[in-house]
Amino acid sequence: MTEKKITGHALPGFLEIITRLRAENGCPWDRKQTPASIKKYLLEETAELVEAIDEGDPTHICEEIGDIFYILAMLCEMFTEQGKFNADDALTAISEKMIRRHPHVFAGIPTGDDRALKQQWEAIKRRERR
């Protein structure tokens, strides 16, 4: 099997699909969804992904990850429509958080075992809350 790398090349096209689904001439079901109404689908799809992981079937796992991407993209589009934030904002925020919370990877700060990593993570979270 050929090793695949995360590229994200499909993400812009996928986000365009979501925008079209929510547009004036889009899908009536997708258009009427709100963050509150879509929560139940996020929970359902997350449970289905957990089941797929338990089964160990990569095809099923891939399908369920795609379903969760759909829900997350829908949420991003809803908040974009409200002028609150967009998918880029959410991805930038999580990227910055992962870099901050992994100084042992991105800043060359040495760390110890799993316990030390957990303590470091928690200390960074506390600083972020302040």
The reported pLDDT for the residue numbered 1 is 53
The reported pLDDT for the residue numbered 109 is 83
| 51-81 core/surface letters (b: 16 or more CB in 10 A; e: else) | ebeeeeeeeebeebeebebbbbbbbbbbbbe
Residue 14 lies in a domain: yes
Residue 3 lies in a domain: no
Question: Do residues 72 and 126 share a domain?
Answer: no
The reported pLDDT for the residue numbered 125 is 92
Q: How is residue 85 written in tokens?
A: 């934030």
Give me the domain span that covers residue 100.
86-130
pLDDT tens digits in sequence order for the chain, 130 residues long: 567 787 889 999 999 999 999 999 999 999 999 999 999 999 999 999 999 999 999 999 999 999 999 999 999 999 999 999 999 999 999 999 999 999 989 988 887 888 989 998 999 999 999 8
The reported pLDDT for the residue numbered 2 is 61
Question: Do residues 63 and 101 share a domain?
Answer: no
> Max Cα separation, the chain?
55
Question: Do residues 48 and 71 share a domain?
Answer: yes
- Considering its fold, how many domains does the chain have in total? 2
Residue 34 lies in a domain: yes
The reported pLDDT for the residue numbered 8 is 83
Q: For position 28, which CATH number holds?
A: 1.10.287.1080
The reported pLDDT for the residue numbered 112 is 80
Residue 121 lies in a domain: yes
Question: Do residues 44 and 27 share a domain?
Answer: yes
**Does the predicted TM-score (pTM) go above 0.75?**
yes
CA distance 90 to 11: 13
Place of tokens 């303590």: 119
Question: Do residues 29 and 90 share a domain?
Answer: no
Question: Which among 65, 85, 105 is the end of a domain?
Answer: 85
Closest CA to 40 of 79, 16, 74: 74
Residue 36 lies in a domain: yes
Residue 2 lies in a domain: no
Question: Do residues 22 and 74 share a domain?
Answer: yes
